Amino acid sequence: MSIIVTMADEVPGRAVAEIVGLATGSIVRARFIGRDFIASLRNLVGGEVDEYTQLLSEARDQALQRMIAHAEELGADGVICFRFATSTVMEGSAEILAYGTAVRLT
């Protein structure tokens, strides 16, 4: 099944037939000492810290895929009002949460 995911509160050309619930997906990722060492060296010269950019990008992708899987479990074919949230769990680790309203579309 293909899930339509949008940050908007509607899908153009489609109507919401039913709200089936809140779809969520989360992941907690921790920094890795090897990445921390390389990032600290990069911090000396400035610029983007690619190691952390990649880490967070992967975490967002995993959280999004988990949310889509949850929406499918709910019987949805769309997720509207999609958002990301993040929080620190402990020093060196963070949770990335993907969430939205799981719906059935016409």
Asked whether the predicted pLDDT for residue 65 surpasses 90, the reply is yes
What single DSSP character describes residue 32? -
Q: Which of 11-15, 66-70, 90-94 has the lowest mean pLDDT?
A: 90-94
Question: What is the CATH topology of the domain spanning 4-105?
Answer: Translation Initiation Factor IF3 (3.30.110)
For the chain, the structural domain boundaries read 4-105
Of the candidates 33, 56, 89, 62, the residue with the CA atom closest to the CA atom of residue 48: 56
pLDDT for 39: 64
What single DSSP character describes residue 11? -
Average pLDDT of the chain? 90
Asked whether the predicted pLDDT for residue 46 surpasses 90, the reply is no
pLDDT for 70: 98
Asked whether the predicted pLDDT for residue 35 surpasses 70, the reply is no
Average pLDDT over residues 80-91: 94
Question: Could you tell me what percentage of the chain is helix, strand and coil, using 3-state DSSP and rounding each to the nearest 5?
Answer: 35, 40, 25
Laid out side by side, the sheet with 4-5 consists of: 4-5, 78-90, 93-105, 16-30
What single DSSP character describes residue 106? -
